[in-house]
Structure 1
Amino acid sequence: MRLVIIVGSVRHGRFGLVAAEWLASQAGLRTDFDIDVIDLDTVWLPDVMFMDPTECKPQAVQDLAPWLAEADAFVVVTPEYKRSFPASLKSAIDWYDEEWRAKPVAFLSYGGASSGLCAVAQLRQIFAEAHAVTVRETVSFHAHHDQDRLDRYNGLDTAGCPFNTGLDAARAMLDRLGWWARALRRARETEPYEPATQHCLGE
């Protein structure tokens, strides 16, 4: 199965890329995932979207689409900014539709008093509207920005290795993500997923 890890922050000095690379290394120890890391800072998705859905999408959006379409599962790596997630991540979600449908999404979060879990709570609602399935298990890192250096973060040693609590959370999340990825891929192969048609009241 193909696992795509998405780095949601585009800020300078972000912790997200470090966290994504660590998670990719943990997923790489398994035999059930082929892994891609997509950094939104390098894909250059446009900030402005079109009102006309028939208009041709920008080239950057078209270039990323196959990578998302071929994924069987996603992990979104998100910080928490002002109790929410970054605009770059919302834009990336909104540019695509079918690529998310009937696929599982897990979260690795960081930042703030909630360790990014406020951002995750909002993302669960958004991915539900995208017809994706979010998994319960998460990985979260607390107060990463309070450290002078990323490699001194309270969940990582100087080699970038997490403490056992981080490892246990990652293993549990990847186990659950793998279960959903297998189940939903079988379901999509049996019957293509189509969102239900919504009807106005009175129809």
Structure 2
Amino acid sequence: MAHITVNEALPGIRSLLAFSPLTAEPLGMLAELLLRSDEGLSKAERELIATYVSHLNECFYCDQSHGAIACYYMNGDNNIVEQIRKDFSKAAVSAKLKALLNIAGKVQKGGKYVTSNDVAAAKSAGATDHDIHDTVLIAAAFCLFNRYVDGLAANTPDDLSTYAPRAKQVAENGYGKHIFTATQPVPGTH
């Protein structure tokens, strides 16, 4: 049960956004800009970064939610998501994404953990300044989102089948107001 009175029928961050529409709007806009841009990183790569940081922060809701969205973008292949969670250095992803995940993991610990060597490694693997910028901002934003969800003890479903239908809804409609106003999709409808 959440630490504050929220709509428990809306899982995770959705209940918190519904509780405070005033803060929901800029948070939703930030998520939309960071995770659905087609500039540089793919949507799947962006969601994998969000998943990885959420996993490191032990935020089950965000880890599962964004892992499911990444999986949706990758045509249902959850293997890469699991590989990223276990050991991204052995995952079947590009050297560029591995270098960016390294940076994201360092941001999760604290911004000053990112070194010029980390950035140079990412650039030599093909990352642009824009890719590095977005990676750092996604990682920093997900530290905020994860702490928001867990700091208020938002309802976190244990049933993993509930995440895929929601992932489809987000992948198809984005991170707009529907996030906290649309009903929770039913498992088996994805």
TM-score scaled by length of structure 1: 0.30
Give 1 or 2: higher strand fraction: 1
Which structure exhibits the higher relative contact order, with contacts defined as CA atoms closer than 8 Å and separated by 6 or more residues? Answer: 2
> Who wins on radius of gyration, i.e. which is larger?
1
Give 1 or 2: higher helix fraction: 2
